[in-house]
Amino acid sequence: MGTHLVQEFCRFCRESKRLRQLLRDTRRCFREINSVRGADGKRPCSAQLSEQENLDIESNINKVPCLIVLGQTCAAKVHVINQIFQQVVLPLPDDHQVEPRWRTVCFRYGSTPSLSLSLPGSYELVNDLMLRDDAWKTISAQNLELRENESDIPDLADGTATLEVKMRHSLLKDGGMVAMSPSSVEGMCAWEDFGRISKNRVPVVIYAIARNKLSEQDLLFLRELLEIHPDISVFFIKVPDVTSPRLRGNHCHDNGHNHDCKSTNGVSHGDHKTTNIDTSTTLNQNNVHIIIETQTATSDGIDENTPQSPDTVVTSVGMFQQLLHVGFLSPLPPSRLSSSKLAQTFTESGGSSRASDSELVEDFAQFPDAVAAFTHQVLERHLLRVTNLLHLVHTRTLETFILVAFDMSRDMLVTPRKLEFAREREGELYESLMQMALLKQDEIQNLIATTISGMRDELLEKATDYEFIGVNIPDSGCPGSSSDLKVCSAEIQDLMLGSLNRAIAGKLLGSVDVLRDSYTGVLTRCLRSLEETDHESTEATRTTEALKEILNSAYQVEITVRAGASLARVLLEKMKQLMHSMPWRTSPLINNEWKRKVAADMLNSLRETRLAKSICSQIKDHLRRSHDAFTAALKQLEARHCGRLERTEEQRLRLRKCYAPRVARLVLESTSLRDSILFGMPVLGREIGRGQYGVVYSCESWAGTAPCAIKTVVPPDDRHWNDLALEFYYTKNVPEHDRIVALRGAIIDTTFSLASPAVLLVMDRLQRDLYVAIKTGLDWLSRLQVAIDVVEGIRYLHSLGLVHRDIKLKNVLLDKQNRGKITDLGFCKPEAMMSGSIVGTPIHMAPELFTKRYDSSVDVYAFGILFWYVCAGHTQLPYAFEQCQDKEMLWTSVKRGIRPERLQQFQPDCWELMNESWDGNPSRRPLLGDVEVKLRAIYRRNYDEQGKKQCHHSQRLSTGPLPSETGLSSVDMDSI
């Protein structure tokens, strides 16, 4: 067992080391990304761990494993400790009737064995030097015992002191530790030192059960343990009664330095006899499955064929129930989960620890294997937790980067269009308002005339009833002075103008208000969004302000007030003339008649044409000024956006080509670490294919997938590494789909080649690729079905915003039913992350790929070429392509419009479909949804025709075929 545990501890240390390295790489990468500043002094993107993540990772990444043995009795714990070390390091207590009082014991690594007593906090008690000098193989009981309290005064120092044991054992290397709890004292349940010992360690807790039942004291202890450490898992092991004189002799053979240990029930290592374990599953009252191992030991110590007392079963069930009640065991069978299940649970829980995975093992013979497996599980879960924390940081950062890149792409695409839109709309608005100002003159004139005539009686009435405010007129009606007369006239004027102004303004507004929302709403929103991204624009330079001014020119009350003011001016002049021309100018009586007369004369003398002209020219002046201000503001805004977009493009390139791939590599590394912890290395089988970038091997199974294919890629340098990592990320995140070959995982294999580590991409294994299938004579209908499958697959990728960029025969794999799936999403990228790289396989590459500006329609082009092969039914190059001596010549021809030739067997709609698909103008290529519909129609027609032919053929067969017709069916079936 020692070796098993040592292996687990070593593995843990190895993986922890990788994790620490990954954390260092993460920090370095983030530091470098954060140190970059844009021209504006700002960080283009930031990558960081949150405070909580930092804390979580820091506090977990340096932990070392530690086995902590708790138990009902000293003897049981000693037995477990000796089994763990495979040597008798601790003596069995002398008298099993009286439970000895032993202190905490901690075993650590030391090149020379030594003993010491120390207090919590590492203060060594030096008053008992005997302990250190004592040469020992088995530590004497004297050193373990808590001193009897002679004076009735508790010796606290002695009571809490720990026996520190240093010894040379592989388990204790690299900081590993084994600890044994002190004897439980009546009334004191919790073991305070548990927290101290397990601090900065990953505790693997074993509880040695010596009796058939847990006492109240035991249950209290366990309850408290669970309360303080709710995530804890405990391995409960039933230890045989080692203090029984009958078994005592067999406890452990001390054979010198390396003591061999044999468990008392006969389970052995090396040459020891084995126990036959009869495992039976019993159902208790609660329908809970528990496993009860009944022993029929064949070794010394337990009589052969000892009948199992029914009490044993009852006890097991009782113990199970007790632990179930405390909360350690769950009603489900022990959760030694399969790797894939563990991965699933782990991912679902977001990496947090799961509910208790404690176990109860009744048969001590199972201890070595079971405790090693339990240790594996506890340590693995800890590693996974930390790995997942890091992985989440990596993926979150990468996702943010991709989203930022998307936003940047959209910004660069949309901003110039928005500016153009704003310019055009404002131009239209300005023109139409100017036009309206011209046209409106007559309208306004009419408006004024109708308003005046319509309101005439009302206004005169109002004037008659008017009570002066600024002057006191005696009942006789004689004004005190000429200035009183002026004030009276002015008040009547104001009354008239005020009422007219409001009425005219109201009508003007009403006539043009309809335009406001429908015409200007979109424009205002567009300008506002442009200004939101432009942090330099101030209130004064805002285009929205300028636009508001334009709109005010025509609609706002401000204008009408101003128009009113000018109207007032005009009217004032009018009144002056009026006053001079009045016959009763010298001393009129200011009575109702006078008021009515003044108002009537004023209304009569108002010239609508002049008023209307004045209002319109005001509107036009205002419009012109506002339009100029708008154009200037828009120009400034455009200039600022231009500079900003240049910086954005730089940042986007840096994001796409540098930051995202670097973070993707971290994602790949944490994924690989997680997968290798969970599933181990895949075992490579025979070679099944070779591509430009690596060899593909078969693999029986990995991570619950069987069979798999493993593509090995050895990236030559950092750039390739990072790019591959980014591609892996996209591919891995494509949700499962029937028409896409699933990528199951990626493992970095540092032992693959001497030169550089390899990435092993694990995917589902299929039967063959479409190239081989066509070459070996796949029939026409199956080929058509595969073409439909390919279109479905591409459509799915496009729906996720991904472009495949390498659709070709060899990247379509066929399953047992000859259904197609797209693979090799190596060049697959979201459009926002494409940097215009020229990628793909020469004959399938659309001409616009060379302009470096292309979109998802390159996949439609590639499908067109693939469909040519599907319809041709062979894999020879099209004649036109065959004539090209190299790929440059091929591309020149393709750019000139040269395409594969029409073959005799092509059905007209198939030929039409390929021609549409490989159109040189991407915007004329069909939508894949339409392609699929057409392909399905072609398939249906061919299927029906084939059915008819077969029917006809079988009818002929029944009557005997004509000699000339035999053998034609396969050619016939294959003809297109």
Ligand X SMILES: Nc1ncnc2c1ncn2[C@@H]1O[C@H](COP(=O)(O)OP(=O)(O)OP(=O)(O)O)[C@@H](O)[C@H]1O
Q: Which of residues 434-453 bind ligand X (CB under 6 A)?
A: none
CA 720 to chain centre: 24
**Of the listed pieces 95-103, 152-160, 489-497, 805-813, which binds ligand X according to CB under 6 A?**
805-813
Contacting residue, 251, 542, 711, 739, with ligand X by CB under 6 A: 711
Contacting residue, 693, 850, 906, 939, with ligand X by CB under 6 A: 693
Taking the complex as a whole, how short is the minimal distance between the CB of residue 163 and ligand X, in angstroms? 59
Q: Could you tell me where the DSSP H helices lie in 533-607?
A: 543-555, 557-581, 592-605
Taking the complex as a whole, how short is the minimal distance between the CB of residue 731 and ligand X, in angstroms? 12
Contacting residue, 44, 661, 682, 694, with ligand X by CB under 6 A: 694
**Of the listed pieces 154-162, 188-196, 568-576, 685-693, which binds ligand X according to CB under 6 A?**
685-693
Check: CB of residue 488 under 8 Å from CB of residue 541.
Answer: no
Taking the complex as a whole, how short is the minimal distance between the CB of residue 769 and ligand X, in angstroms? 4
Closest C-alpha to 688, from 701, 699, 679, 697:
697
Residue closer to ligand X, measured from CB, 764 or 932: 764
Largest Cα separation within the chain, whole Å, is: 148
Contacting residue, 110, 175, 689, 842, with ligand X by CB under 6 A: 689
567 to 596: interface string for ligand X, x by CB under 6 A: ------------------------------
Closest C-alpha to 550, from 627, 617, 615:
627
Check: CB of residue 554 under 8 Å from CB of residue 437.
Answer: yes
Residue closer to ligand X, measured from CB, 568 or 763: 763
730 to 769: interface string for ligand X, x by CB under 6 A: -----------x---------------------xxxx--x
Which tokens hold the place of 480? Answer: 């005190």
Residue closer to ligand X, measured from CB, 444 or 849: 849
Contacting residue, 696, 774, 812, 832, with ligand X by CB under 6 A: 696
Contacting residue, 120, 691, 777, 836, with ligand X by CB under 6 A: 691
Taking the complex as a whole, how short is the minimal distance between the CB of residue 703 and ligand X, in angstroms? 15
Taking the complex as a whole, how short is the minimal distance between the CB of residue 749 and ligand X, in angstroms? 16
Any contact of residue 810 with ligand X (CB under 6 A)?
Answer: yes
The catalytic position among 749, 806, 859, 919 is 806
DSSP label at 873? T
Active site residue 806: yes
Any contact of residue 688 with ligand X (CB under 6 A)?
Answer: yes
Contacting residue, 35, 692, 750, 904, with ligand X by CB under 6 A: 692
DSSP label at 150? T
What are the distances in angstroms from CA 448 to CA 66, 280, 410, 452? 97, 106, 51, 6
Residue closer to ligand X, measured from CB, 346 or 679: 679
Taking the complex as a whole, how short is the minimal distance between the CB of residue 855 and ligand X, in angstroms? 22
Beta strands in 183-250 (DSSP E): 201-209, 234-238
Residue closer to ligand X, measured from CB, 605 or 767: 767
Residue closer to ligand X, measured from CB, 359 or 824: 824
Half-sphere exposure of 554 toward its Cβ, with a 13 Å CA cutoff? 28
641-648 CB contacts, 8 Å cutoff, 24+ apart: 641/415, 641/416, 641/419, 641/530, 641/533, 641/534, 644/533, 644/534, 645/411, 645/412, 645/415, 645/416, 647/38, 647/39, 647/40, 648/408, 648/411, 648/412
Taking the complex as a whole, how short is the minimal distance between the CB of residue 889 and ligand X, in angstroms? 20
Distance from C-alpha of 738 to C-alpha of 792, rounded to nearest angstrom? 9
Residue type at position 794: I
Any contact of residue 709 with ligand X (CB under 6 A)?
Answer: yes
Taking the complex as a whole, how short is the minimal distance between the CB of residue 655 and ligand X, in angstroms? 26
Residues forming a β-bridge with 746: 761
Distance from C-alpha of 454 to C-alpha of 448, rounded to nearest angstrom? 10
Distance from C-alpha of 188 to C-alpha of 192, rounded to nearest angstrom? 10
Size of the site for ligand X (CB under 6 A): 21
Which tokens hold the place of 126? Answer: 């030096």
Q: Which of residues 766-785 bind ligand X (CB under 6 A)?
A: 766, 769
Any contact of residue 928 with ligand X (CB under 6 A)?
Answer: no
Taking the complex as a whole, how short is the minimal distance between the CB of residue 713 and ligand X, in angstroms? 8
**Of the listed pieces 193-201, 807-815, 831-839, 885-893, which binds ligand X according to CB under 6 A?**
807-815
What are the distances in angstroms from CA 505 to CA 179, 414, 451, 745? 93, 40, 11, 73
Residue closer to ligand X, measured from CB, 301 or 694: 694
Distance from C-alpha of 274 to C-alpha of 298, rounded to nearest angstrom? 7
Residues written for the chain: 976
Residue closer to ligand X, measured from CB, 91 or 826: 826
Cα-only R_g, the chain: 46
Distance from C-alpha of 284 to C-alpha of 722, rounded to nearest angstrom? 56
State the DSSP H helix or E strand holding residue 141, giving kind and residue range, or none if neither: helix 141-144
Distance from C-alpha of 99 to C-alpha of 102, rounded to nearest angstrom? 9
Any contact of residue 682 with ligand X (CB under 6 A)?
Answer: no
711 is in an annotated binding site: yes
133 to 172: interface string for ligand X, x by CB under 6 A: ----------------------------------------
Taking the complex as a whole, how short is the minimal distance between the CB of residue 768 and ligand X, in angstroms? 6
Closest C-alpha to 861, from 845, 876, 850:
845
Residue closer to ligand X, measured from CB, 159 or 842: 842
**Of the listed pieces 73-81, 224-232, 323-331, 684-692, which binds ligand X according to CB under 6 A?**
684-692
Which tokens hold the place of 418? Answer: 């928005």
Any contact of residue 394 with ligand X (CB under 6 A)?
Answer: no
Q: Residues with catalytic annotation?
A: 806
Binding residues for ATP: 711
Task: Detail the residues annotated as belonging to a binding site.
Answer: 711
Residues engaged in binding ligand X (CB under 6 A): 688-694, 696, 709, 711, 741, 763-766, 769, 810-811, 813, 823-824
